[in-house]
Amino acid sequence: MSGSDEAKPGSASVRAILDHYEYDPSKVERIASSKVKYPLEVVDPDPRWPADFASIKARIEAALGPEELVGVEHIGSTSVAGLPAKDLIDIDVTVPDATEETRYVPALEAAGFHFLTRERRWHEHRLFSLYEPRAATLHVWGPGSPEAARHVIFRDWLRGHAEDRVRYARAKRESAARTNEAGETSAAYNRRKEKVVREILERAFTALGYM
């Protein structure tokens, strides 16, 4: 590994960013079930996605205020122009301390975000869904989350590298088709495209001097 592995205050270390998370459903604490079952469908890019994100970001900022909000990032495929995606806005929200749920959960729920799961072993991840006026998924982290850093690295790499955008788009469509044919869930869809995701991330990490 090249480059420094030391983390600045509030930032993730290189070693932590490079560590691939292995999803274990038995470690997920289910708070509630989603009120809506969305079809697994990868759609063509929609020019409205950035504006949709901006609207939801404003709702989050109004709900939490500056003292309880560190940052809001548009992530996932809807954050990359020209990339097909599930019609679901993915958002990373960083709060001062994700374990202190009383500081943000009631405010987010009052603003229409539905608290679904808690994953303590995955960097204290919390998951929320928004159903109206459009579907969105909210990932809540504390400062310096390695996974939040990976999301931004992946997004920024795809924005700047057309060949990997094409490669990832193909993987998404193929994975969705095979998953639907097998009658499986989004977890299977994610597993099918994981190899391509990791290959792209490794190219991004190498370019950053992390590997």
Half-sphere exposure of 105 (CA within 13 A, CB side): 14
User: Cα separations (Å) of 136 from 21, 79, 98?
Assistant: 23, 12, 19
Contact 114, 34 (CB under 8 A): yes
Q: What is the pLDDT of residues 170-199, one digit of tens each?
A: 999 999 999 999 999 999 999 999 999 999
Residue 122 domain-assigned (yes or no): yes
State which residues form the domain around 145.
39-208
Residue where the block lists tokens 């790499």: 157
Residue 8 domain-assigned (yes or no): no
Residue 26 domain-assigned (yes or no): no
| Backbone torsions φ then ψ of 144, nearest 5 degrees | 75, 20
Select from 168, 196, 203, 148 the least CA-distant residue to 17.
148
Give how many domains the chain has, as a whole number. 1
Contact 84, 43 (CB under 8 A): yes
Residue 186 domain-assigned (yes or no): yes
- Whichever domain contains 113, its CATH number is 3.30.460.10
Residue where the block lists tokens 């480059």: 3
Residue 131 domain-assigned (yes or no): yes
Residues in the chain, pLDDT under 70: 1-10
Q: Is the peptide bond before 50 cis (omega within 30 degrees of 0)?
A: no
- Both tokens of residue 20? 């691939």
Residue-level pLDDT at 11: 81
Residue 28 domain-assigned (yes or no): no
Residue 10 domain-assigned (yes or no): no
Residue 88 domain-assigned (yes or no): yes
Radius of gyration of the chain (CA): 17
